[in-house]
Amino acid sequence: MFSGLGRFVVRRPWWIILAWVVAAGAVISLAPKLTSSSDEASFLPDHYESIRAAAVQEKDFPRQQNIGAIIVFQRSDGTKLTAADSADVRRVSKDLQSQKIPEVQAVAPGQVSPNKLVQTSVVAMPKLTNPEDTAQQDAVKRLRTDLQPELKGTDLSAGITGSAAQALDESDASKRAGLLVGVGTIVIIVVLLLVIFRSPIIALLPVVLIGLISPMATGLIASANKAFGMKADSSIQELLTVVLFGVGTDYILFLLFRYREALRAGEDVKGGMVHAVERVGEAITSAAGAVIVAFAALTLSSLGMLQSMGPALAIAVFVTLFAGLTLVPAVVSLLGTKVFWPSKSWQREPHGTGFARLGASLARRPAVWALVSALVMGALTLGALGYRANFDLAGSSLPKDKESMVALDDLQKGFPAGTTDPTSVYLTSTADEPLAPSSAAAFRERLSGVTGVGEVAAAKLSPDRTTASYSVILADPPASDKALATVKDRLRPAAHDDAPTGTRALVGGTTAVYVDINKAVDRDYSVVFPVAALAIMVILGLLLRSLVAPWYLMLSVALGFGATLGATSLLFQQIGSQPGLMFMLPVIMYLFVVALGTDYNILMVSRLREEAREGRTPRDAAGTAVRHSGPTIGSAGVILAGTFATLMLAGNSTLSQMGFSLSFGIVIAAFVMAMVFTPALTALIGHAAWWPGHGDERREGAGAGTGGSGGRGGVPGSDGDEGEGEERAGGATRGR
């Protein structure tokens, strides 16, 4: 099939290129844009308590004011506030409200903190219903501009924090992050390809081709959002960029390395490309299939964010695969050997390479290499025991010098950390009868006595007096581990158990949402991980026609995942003193390391099987596969790791964690799993690795000179005569 596809493409390259340009233009011009979203609650199913609490608020308190922002006042000299200072706070608040800023419903001055160091004004805004609406961010920007002139002539300084302020600062940071990631990805790909191939044409090829399909993939994702109700938003744009460029460059490299090998063996330009597509097509299609099914497994997640992220990235990988099998061969077949210009190294294989020496050593001592690589990954896996989840995606990801973060630190000098985002408790009559005032007051007292609760405001009753709303300020930051423990282990049980007879209590708000997200993620671990692993094993089994190989290939990937999570936990939690890792990181890491790590395993094992079919012993086949596939996997791993590492340029701890973990995971997958552990274990298991299909059996007509793999049954170079082996291989092929 892939041989026929290769012949079709190289015979009609201009038609293939034209079809891609027309399709890309149509998709880009007609597709909607990706929107943005920052509402974590919108990604949870309706049965979670925080979502049911939000429904009570919408029904019984539709006009309840939402705290959009908080203005934090303090004296410029850091001393205690005076009566005159409080009078200035009231005046400034009144003046700001009189400005009639859109989205600002009220600017209400609050009380001075008990220690007299801080005073606040609460900026009420309507509940955000349209994730794409930036009006509240614009309101904060206007407030910040108008605030500073109001402070002149006073002894006060002030800053604005709260959800809308953090959203504004996060938006500004994201624009910078997107630019840095995009530019950094392209620069790294170009530089690394120049170093590997010493050809400016190859260096620019992925940038041009993937630059064409990137907006096409984004357009298809946005169209899928509209057609199928997906919620993939613009927050995946940075991740989408590195996936497209990283995975796309990998597939281009797989093809180019095999194309170069065919040319060295004496094939002509067209025949060499057909040979490359035939030999690599099955491997990269299976590899892409593993990535796609792993991402698609996210549709089983409880979180709408992950449910939509998975199919979105799967669409991107599918488009990249299709381009790798059609567009790339068409362009390269037109360029011919000029694609390598000005380098001449494509004409002959270098002697005595590090990969040849590694292959020879692995063929002689597979048990040693398997044990050492397993111990390295196992030792790093121990670091995963200290993993902690962090749910403060906005606050923890923002640079500490952003105004919303500085003002939040100032606020905590005088008020409980939960002031910016109170937890809501709703007490509702189950008989639709008015609540007794005494019962409502007694319930408030019980909530106030919960450990970890700072303050509980007096109950607000709904118009029909059947529901009471309590604003609960926690003693700890809303997204902290302590706050989550307060809601999960003490506040919710107390609210449920102490609700008066004939009533029910629900706990909602941001912290409650995080508690429910944590529960949902735990559930996803037990569902998404096994399903993704099983689907990948099925693909491996079908590709290799083996029931044995998929098990140890997935074992290697599991060790790689554990090593990656362990190294990331050690770096960011132990060395970097972060409160934890982004709560979604293990899921994302699992899918990327498992799926992309399987890419490299598939490429290595496919080549290993090919060498075995040439008549080599299991050890010699493993060594020869490392020699020939090592440069491809190593180059692809370095480039893909480099593209993921660009996420660390964003100045955002969340993206930095993702960038490090994914780049480190790719390095482990390429240089430890695929290049050492997998071939060493396959060499040890031998012929049994291919049971029951026996896909390693020698084919009729196969010989040492037909594969372009080396001159003899042994590992070329293992006895110091690598050059002679290469000459035999080249001569045998050219003599055909």
DSSP codes of every residue in 286-352: HHHHHHHHHHHGGGGSSSHHHHHHHHHHHHHHHHHHHHHHTHHHHHHHHHGGGGGTT--GGGSPPSS
Return the pLDDT at 715: 36
Say if residues 195 and 222 touch (Cβ distance below 8 Å).
no
Residues 475-520 have pLDDT tens digits of: 888 878 889 999 999 999 999 999 998 999 999 988 998 899 888 8
What's the token pair of residue 501? 């007879």
3-state secondary structure of 121: strand
Alpha carbon 438 to its chain centroid, in Å, reads: 51
Say if residues 253 and 189 touch (Cβ distance below 8 Å).
no
Say if residues 512 and 50 touch (Cβ distance below 8 Å).
yes
Return the pLDDT at 350: 61
What's the token pair of residue 319? 């488009």
Say if residues 722 and 623 touch (Cβ distance below 8 Å).
no
Distances (CA, A) of 574 to 568, 580, 648: 9, 10, 18
Residues 114-129 have pLDDT tens digits of: 899 999 999 988 876 5
For residues 370 and 683, what is the distance between their CA atoms, to the nearest angstrom?
Answer: 10
Q: Which string of DSSP letters, residue by residue, matches 208-224? A: HHHHHHHHHHHHHHHHH
Beta bridge partners of 505: 427
For residues 263 and 174, what is the distance between their CA atoms, to the nearest angstrom?
Answer: 45
For residues 492 and 495, what is the distance between their CA atoms, to the nearest angstrom?
Answer: 5
Interior/surface letters 548-558, b for 16+ CB within 10 angstroms, e for the rest: bbbebbbebbb
Q: Which residues contact 613 (CB under 8 A, 6 or more apart)?
A: 695, 696, 697, 698, 699, 702
For residues 121 and 89, what is the distance between their CA atoms, to the nearest angstrom?
Answer: 8
Tracing tokens 């606040």 back to the chain, one arrives at 120
Return the pLDDT at 603: 83
Say if residues 319 and 213 touch (Cβ distance below 8 Å).
yes
Q: Which residues contact 131 (CB under 8 A, 6 or more apart)?
A: 35, 36, 37, 38, 39, 42, 233
Q: What distance separates the 2 farthest-apart alpha carbons in the chain?
A: 100
Number of residues written out for the chain: 736
Say if residues 681 and 386 touch (Cβ distance below 8 Å).
no
**Within 10 A of 735 (CB to CB), how many other CB atoms are there?**
8
Return the pLDDT at 651: 63
Return the pLDDT at 372: 95
Beta bridge partners of 546: 692
Residues 550-603 have pLDDT tens digits of: 998 888 888 999 999 999 999 988 887 777 888 888 887 876 777 777 778 888
Q: Provide the residue type at 100 as one letter.
A: K
The beta-strand segments (E) located in 82-147 are 106-112, 119-125
Residues of the chain with pLDDT under 50: 37-41, 702-736
707: DSSP letter: S
Q: Provide the residue type at 569 as one letter.
A: S
3-state secondary structure of 69: strand
Measured CA angle at 293 (ends 325, 278), to 5 deg:
25
Q: Whole-model pTM? A: 0.74
Residues 196-225 have pLDDT tens digits of: 888 888 888 888 888 888 888 888 887 877
Return the pLDDT at 419: 80
Interior/surface letters 673-700, b for 16+ CB within 10 angstroms, e for the rest: bbbbbbbbbbbbbbeebbeeeebbeeee
